[in-house]
Structure 1
Amino acid sequence: MRTLKFLLQKEFRQIFRDPSILRIIFIMPMMQLILLPQAADYEMKNIKLTVVDHDHSSYSQQLISKITASGYFRLTNYSASYKSAIEDIEREKSDLILTIPARFEKDLVKENESKIFMAVNAINGVKANLGGAYLGMIIQDYNREVRLKWIQFPRLNPEPTIDITYSNWFNPLMNYKFFMVPGILVVLITMVGSFLATLNIVKEKEMGTIEQINVTPIKRHHFILGKLIPFWILGMAILTIGLTIARLFYGIFPLGHFYTIYAFAAIYLFSILGLGLLISNYTSNQQQAMLISFFLMMIFILLSGLYTSIDSMPEWAKMITRLNPVTYFVEVMRMVILKGSSLADILPQTLTVLGFGIILNSWAILSYHKRS
Structure 2
Amino acid sequence: MSPLRYILEKEFKQIFRNPAILKTIFILPVIQLIMLPMAADYEIKNINIAVVNNDHGTLSTDLVQQITASNYFKLVSYTNGFNTAMESLESDRADLILEIPNNFETSLFKEKEASLFLAVNAINGVKGSLGAAYLNNIIQNFNQSFRNKELVPGRFNEIPQIQISSSNWYNPKMNYRIFMVPGILVLLVTIVGMNLSSINIVREKEMGTIEQINVTPIQKFHFILGKLIPFWVIGLIVMSVGFIVAWLVYGIIPLGSYFTLYFFAAIYLLVILGIGLLISSYSENQQQAMLVTFFILMIFVLMGGLYTSIDSMPEWAKWFTKFNPISYFIEVMRMVVLKGSNIKDILPQVLAMLGYAVVINIWAVLSYHKRS
CA distance in 2, matches of 1:249, 1:153: 55
Q: TM-score, normalised on structure 2?
A: 0.97
In structure 1, the residue matched to 2:204 is: 204
**Match for residue 334 of structure 1?**
334
Counterpart amino acid of 1:64?
Answer: V
Are 2:125 and 1:86 aligned?
Answer: no
Please report how far the alpha carbon of residue 10 of structure 1 lies from its aligned counterpart in structure 2 after TM superposition.
0.4
After superposition, residues 208-247 of structure 1 pair within 5 angstroms as: 208-247=208-247
Structure 2 Cα separation of the partners of residues 131 and 281 of structure 1? 49
**Partner of 1:99: helix, strand, or coil?**
strand
Q: Distance in 2 between matches of 1:338 and 1:211?
A: 49
Question: Which residue in 1 is equivalent to 2:47?
Answer: 47
1:242-269 CA distances to partner (integer Å, 9 max, x unpaired)? 0011011100001001100000000000
* Residues 153 and 159 in structure 1, CA contact (< 8 A), matched pair in contact too: no
Alignment partner of 1:351 is 2:348? no
* Other-structure match for 1:35: 35
SS of the residue 1:97 aligns to: strand
Which amino acid is 1:148 matched to?
N
The Cα of 1:113 is off from its aligned counterpart by 1.2
Deviation at 1:152, TM superposition (A): 2.5
Deviates more, 1:144-153 or 1:100-109: 144-153
Q: Secondary structure at the match of 1:128?
A: helix
Paired residues in the alignment total 369
How much has 1:304 moved relative to structure 2?
Answer: 0.8
Deviation at 1:105, TM superposition (A): 1.0
Deviations 1:259-287 (A, max 9, x none): 00000000000111001001111110111
Alpha-carbon distance in structure 2 between the residues aligned to 1:289 and 1:99: 56
CA distance in 2, matches of 1:235, 1:60: 58
Measure how far apart 1:159 and its partner are.
6.2
TM-score, normalised relative to structure 1: 0.97
Give, in whole Å, the separation in 2 of the partners of 1:277 and 1:256. Answer: 32
For 1:93 and 1:164, locate their aligned partners in 2 and report how far apart those are by CA, in whole Å. 38
Within-5 A mapping of 1:1-372: 2-152=2-152, 160-371=160-371
Code of the aligned partner of 1:215: V
> Tell me, what secondary structure is at the counterpart of 1:20?
helix
CA shift digits 1:178-218 (9 cap, x unpaired): 10000000000000000100000011111111111111111
Structure 2 SS opposite 1:74 = strand
| Residue-by-residue CA offset, 1:280-316 (whole Å, 9 max, x unaligned) | 1111011111111111101111111111111111001
Displacement of 1:109 in angstroms is 1.1
1:33 deviates by: 0.3
Distance (whole Å) between structure 2 residues aligned to residue 159 and residue 42 of structure 1: 35
Q: C-alpha displacement at 1:56, in angstroms?
A: 0.8
Distance 1:110 1:80 in 2: 23
Q: CA RMSD in A?
A: 1.3
Q: Distance in 2 between matches of 1:92 and 1:153?
A: 46
Q: Deviations over 1:59-111 (max 9, x none)?
A: 11011011112211111111231111111122221111111111111111111
Counterpart-to-counterpart distance in 2, 1:127 and 1:108: 30
Q: 1:318 & 1:122 partners in 2: Cα distance?
A: 27
CA displacement at 1:23 relative to structure 2: 0.6
> Which consecutive segments of 4 or more residues in structure 1 shift more than 6 A?
none
The one-letter code of the counterpart of 1:139 is I
Q: CA deviation at 1:163?
A: 2.5
Alpha-carbon distance in structure 1 between the residues aligned to 2:307 and 2:331: 12
Residue range with higher mean Cα deviation, 339-348 or 161-170: 161-170
Q: Secondary structure at the match of 1:102?
A: coil
1:306 alignment partner, SS class: coil
Structure 1 CA distance for aligned equivalents of residues 73 and 79 of structure 2: 16
Q: Percent identity?
A: 60
Q: Secondary structure at the match of 1:98?
A: strand
In the alignment, the residues of structure 2 paired with residue 118 and residue 273 of structure 1 have an alpha-carbon distance, to the nearest angstrom, of: 51
SS of 2:92's equivalent in the other structure is: coil
Unaligned runs of 5+ in 1: none
Q: Shift in Å at residue 219 of structure 1?
A: 0.7
Gaps of 5+ in 2: none
Q: State the secondary structure of the residue aligned to 1:118.
A: strand
Q: Within 1, Cα distance between the matches of 2:8 and 2:327?
A: 30
Q: Secondary structure at the match of 1:170?
A: coil
Whole-Å separation in 1 of the counterparts to 2:110 and 2:19: 76
Tell me how far apart the structure 2 counterparts of residues 108 and 266 of structure 1 sit (CA, whole Å).
64
1:286 is matched by which residue type in structure 2?
Answer: Q
